[in-house]
Amino acid sequence: MSSMENQRRSILLLFSWIFMVATMAAASTTIIPVNVGVVVDLDEPSGKMYLSCIEMALSDFYAIHADYKTRLVLNTRNSNRDVVGAAAAALDLIKNVEVKAILGPVSSMQTSFVVNLGEQAYVPIISFSATSPSLTSPRSSYFFRFAQNDLNQVKAISGIVQNFGWRRVVPIYVDNMYGEGVIPFLIDALQEVDAHIPYRSLIHELATDDQIEKELYKLMTMQTRVFIVHMMPNLSSRLFAKAKKMGMMSEGFVWITTNSIGNNLRSMASVLDSMQGLLGVETYIPRTLKLRQFISRWKRKFQQDNPKIIDVKLDAFGLRAYDAAFAVAMAVEKVANAGFKFQKRNASSFNSHYGSKLSHALSIINFKGMAGDFNLVDRQLQASTFKIVNVNGYGPRTVGYWTTENGRVVKRLNSTRNRTISTSKCDLGPIIWPGESLSVPKGWEIPTNGTKLRIGVPVREGFQEFVKVTTYPSTNTVDVTGFSIDVFKAVLEILPYALPYDFVPFAMANGSTYNDLVYQVSDGKFDAVVGDLTIRANRSLYVGFTMPYTESGVVMVVPIQDKRTKSAWVFLKPLTWDLWMTTLCFFIFIGFVIWVLEHRINDDFRGSPSHQVGTSFWFSFSTMVFSQREKVVSNLARFVMIIWIFVVLIVTQSYTASLASLLTVQQLQPTVTDIDDLLRNRDNVGYMTSSFVYDLLRQKGFHESRLKDYGTMEQIDEALSKGSANGGIAAIVHETPYMKLFVAKYCSKYTMIGPIFKTDGFGFVFPKGSPLIPDVSQAILNLTEGEKIMNIEDEWIKKENNCKDPSTEKFYSSSLGLESFWGLFLIAGVASIFALLIFATSFLHKHKQVLMSSDSRASKWKRIRTMFKIFNEKELSSHTFKSSRHEARITGAPDNELNASPNNNWPESPFSYTNQTDPTSVFYGEQETPSHGQASSEIVPTFEIAAFTNQEMHATPETAQERV
């Protein structure tokens, strides 16, 4: 019994286990359906294309992931091409179907309404085709954009404009939220590359052909020929058809389209004939094997589902729809275990309990999608590459790319060339422009209606050499001439194209200023202004200036006067005081040097102290006129004198020339050299009527009562001639070109000082951002670098005879300074010191026995005194005294007369005796010195050798024999 019972229990347990396993297996294979809404325009082929891609995406996803629990159930609604229809469809899906997410709607306007519904119901709204930047807002955490933001493609468009150097473009866009949303960002991007938008062309999405034609005619009357088109393909097709009919798809025009058109070019085959030559921005999708296979499968499926629709091309938005459905399926599976239970909270809003979880799951999903890498940042698809295409023949042709990495247009992707800096127009492949032109359009043309440029010219009373307007009432015509006019005509000859124009006079009367003339351009009354207009910062806020064609700066013109000195001390004027003092010191120094070198060997430099001082000074100063009678006999003294006489020659000749100039040559110098002097002296200052110089002088500190305005050169000349004290002016302050003309006419009376203020010279005026400015500026540079501008200036700014160029006039002090002669004095000083050093070295070496005596009784002071005494004595061994004794012997004169110095008032040195004692006896007084001419009988013979005097040691054989 027990065994039977155990068997029953075992069988029961086995069946229980089998039942549990079966139950668990059944539970694991249960499919959880998840409702997802799809809102597209089913009346459009593109809407059916998007739906087909979404269906294929889910089919492919679950074929790969058959084990997933969840299955998306698509609930499709038609938006009926309407914002209200899209909102009603979304509300129905949220309220009645209880969808957990919505794919769509298609347009940006529809999406902006549906986003608010999704925010209230906590239902994620996933758009795969809404590109407007206005949708980028942190207001909703349930909005996901799986399409490229238009903010990215405006960078690509501005890169194209920059690449070709166009300065003005006109956007043509649909007049709704989609069109207007991108314009602020497009303007910013174009301004970054120095391109401006002079006009915006808005076309309503329901505009008739006549309205489109009227707008295009308006564009034809403008100069700008670069157009950026931003609208949906159906409206753009009508626009380009009208443009071709009106001749706007011909040579000289440039058309650039955004990716809303560029992505659909392949499906617009029927209208491509009207779009030949345009450039389009297209979202770049890598052509992988997987993509090519999918396109083949999609074509077959789409034709099976929609046999009546032909010529529909799969575009980038369709691929984004495929990836969007893939991403939603992945996110739903991640939160499947949390369950999806719709809960109704109140009558006005709905709540998806797990909406936040699904939103978070969508935010972190990334994978390799059909359109490329799928990666979200702040619920926005990351920017990718854009392709630049050129429409030729039967379709678009790729000519370049724009990537976020490069931030600019490049010819090839992954290029290894360094393109951080480039101004080339060859960064794209070959482009065939409208009209089958291969030349890059310059971006603007003279309007096709034949209207010429209205160029304003100022009419004023004075300074008509710049602009002179002559009116002929009989023929009602005007003749405009002048320096500025000739420069403008020469610039137009350099331009590579014709520029028809008419000069329109503008009277500078009744208080009108040049600012009023400039404002005529900003107000659109003139297309340009040519004349003597200065480039100013306040004017550049309203208009654009070309490069200046004249000199810049504000200068001061003052009278000149002859400042020849007529005082009794004019002879001191040629040299400055530092040069006078240096010369005097060197005369004294040279006299001292010559005395030192000549004193022992030249009787002319011996005698009483006063006699020696007088002789030295006389000798030195007499070299000024080379009248010195004393001879120098030493070679060192002759060496010094050679250099010193050369210095004196240069200084005296320069002094003579400068003095002659002061007394005879007319010295014209300005009465004032600094504007601050006018301010301190409270002088009257002139300026030109209606000139901005008045404001500069007021800022400088001049009182209004001291400023006087003038209109003509004759009035200025009269005021300057009177002077400030007589009711005139002390100076006239104005711009360099005017004053250069004034000084050229009155060069003998006035001179130009400065510039004292900075300005930028004269320039031509055009509307701000005009495409003519770069071309005209380049032509001005070419003109000013050649000789033609000088010829024009010589023709209109004529100078008086014998006039000097005021720009080369310099006013220096007429006195000669030490800076011109310090080199000469340096050479003389070094030579003199060098001679003194040689003499001192020779003298000390010759008498070293005095300084190096071993007698301890001799102090240093006594040794020095002895050296000075020796220096004061004649050097009888000198050739001068030898020749004197030789002559004396011939004539019979006694030796003692030769040895005596007739002019020597100093005590006779012990060394001067014929028979000398021990030189050490000199240090002990004169009592030991034997009488003159006698020999001491008490001298020990051992001292006789030491008792020889310096003269005896250097005595000739003849004198030695006489002593013996």
Q: How far, in Å, are 162, 406, 411, 422, 897 from residue 417 at the CA level?
A: 19, 11, 11, 11, 106
Q: Residue 667 in contact with residue 814, Cβ under 8 Å?
A: yes
pLDDT (0 to 100) of residue 927: 37
SS3 for 291? helix
- Judge residue 905's burial from the number of C-beta atoms within 10 Å of its C-beta, 0-12 exposed, 13-18 middle, 19 or more buried: exposed
- Judge residue 457's burial from the number of C-beta atoms within 10 Å of its C-beta, 0-12 exposed, 13-18 middle, 19 or more buried: buried
Cβ atoms within 10 Å, residue 352: 24
**Structure token pair of residue 187:** 């303007």
Q: What is the DSSP letter of 129?
A: S
In a 13 Å sphere around the CA of 321, the CA atoms on its Cβ side amount to 26
Cα distance between residue 475 and residue 473, in whole Å: 5
**Structure token pair of residue 631:** 């001879």
Cα distance between residue 535 and residue 765, in whole Å: 9
SS3 for 22? helix
- CA-nearest of 117, 104, 119 to 42 is 104
Q: Residue 875 in contact with residue 881, Cβ under 8 Å?
A: yes
**Structure token pair of residue 783:** 């003109």
Regarding beta strands 468-472 and 477-481, do their DSSP bridges make them parallel or antiparallel, or are they unpaired? antiparallel
Cα distance between residue 555 and residue 681, in whole Å: 19
φ and ψ at 568, to 5 degrees? Answer: -70, -15
pLDDT (0 to 100) of residue 880: 65
Cα distance between residue 952 and residue 961, in whole Å: 11
DSSP E strands, 758-903: 765-767
Per run of 10 residues, the mean pLDDT along the chain (length 964 residues) is 63 62 52 92 90 95 92 94 91 92 90 89 91 73 88 90 90 90 90 89 92 92 91 92 93 93 85 93 91 93 89 87 95 75 42 76 91 88 87 90 82 61 61 92 73 87 86 84 92 85 84 86 91 89 91 87 66 83 88 84 78 79 73 83 87 84 67 84 87 87 89 88 88 87 84 85 89 88 88 78 50 68 89 88 81 69 80 72 56 47 40 38 40 37 35 39 36
Cα distance between residue 875 and residue 846, in whole Å: 11
Query: What is this structure's pTM?
Result: 0.59
Q: How far, in Å, are 136, 197, 202, 253, 544 from residue 186 at the CA level?
A: 16, 10, 15, 20, 22
Cβ atoms within 10 Å, residue 249: 21
pLDDT (0 to 100) of residue 885: 54
Q: Residue 899 in contact with residue 876, Cβ under 8 Å?
A: yes
Helix axes 713-722, 736-745, angle to 10 degrees: 70
**Structure token pair of residue 100:** 């957990």
pLDDT (0 to 100) of residue 627: 66
- Sorted by sequence, the CB contacts under 8 Å of residue 908 that are 6+ apart come out as none
